[in-house]
Amino acid sequence: MIMKIISYNVNGIRAAIKKGFLDWLHAAGPDVICIQETKARKEQVDLELIENAGYPYHYWFSAQKKGYSGVAVFSKIKPNHIEYGTGIETMDFEGRNLRLDFDRFSVMSIYLPSGTNLSRLEFKLNYMAEFQEYINELKKEIPRLIICGDYNICHQTIDIHDPVRLKNVSGFLPIEREWIGNFIQNGFIDTFRYFNDKPHHYSWWSYRANARNNNKGWRIDYCLASENLKNNLSRAYILNKARHSDHCPVGVELEL
């Protein structure tokens, strides 16, 4: 049995639907898709369209602020349990974590903050520290965990198109790169890099300066899998032809 999991920051689910997202989703056919930056509450979306695309089980965790942040998970399989948020007040009000537990593994959709200015960078760094502590405890209870989403961090120099010029920009700061490196080393596999060690593979491009057509991008979206799932990994990929957002989907497949 192959389990196909995709992660996609849609930069607004309603806008993505207008751009053909649901037709793409039906054709791609993942068993589970983790969505970030929904920018909507579920009552603002025609849920029947999602169900008609093949996803009878869909769960939403929205930010308190309307039209901002938010994550969701759509599944073809009924989960055993849904965990909304982390229980950490400083991060949950922005709707950034949603976990579904299945028989043999759990999947989390995560949307880390961006550090667009000093105050948001401080918020991001605090979030990163608290999230690491949260996952350290969660792994004791849920050892087979896949954390998919927009981490808003490039890990290595090959994950960004201009590592020299962008070394002091949030998303590629040394402190951010160190954090994600430590996070991965603390029991996870960067599934895309497990199968592909080549440069020029990105998952986000600025809308400015024709960046996407010139492939001047950043790889900030990841499917991280617990090390104990290593023998189950069969494929991982970036679907850069999908254009419903400034991000593109990333995926992993497991043989169970």
In sequence order, what are the residues at sequence separation of 6 or more whose Cβ sits closer than 8 angstroms to the Cβ of residue 176?
Answer: 115, 124, 128, 153, 170
For residue 154, give both structure tokens.
Answer: 């490039």
* 150 flagged as catalytic: yes
What residues are paired with 111 via a beta bridge?
A: 150
Residue 35 CB contacts under 8 Å (≥ 6 apart), including other chains? 8, 9, 10, 13, 71, 72, 73, 74, 109
Q: Report yes or no: 96 and 111 within 8 Å, Cβ to Cβ.
A: yes
For 2, how many CA atoms within 13 A lie in the half-sphere containing its CB?
A: 9
Of 150, 159, 190, 221, which is the active-site residue? 150
Q: What amino acid positions are annotated as catalytic residues?
A: 150
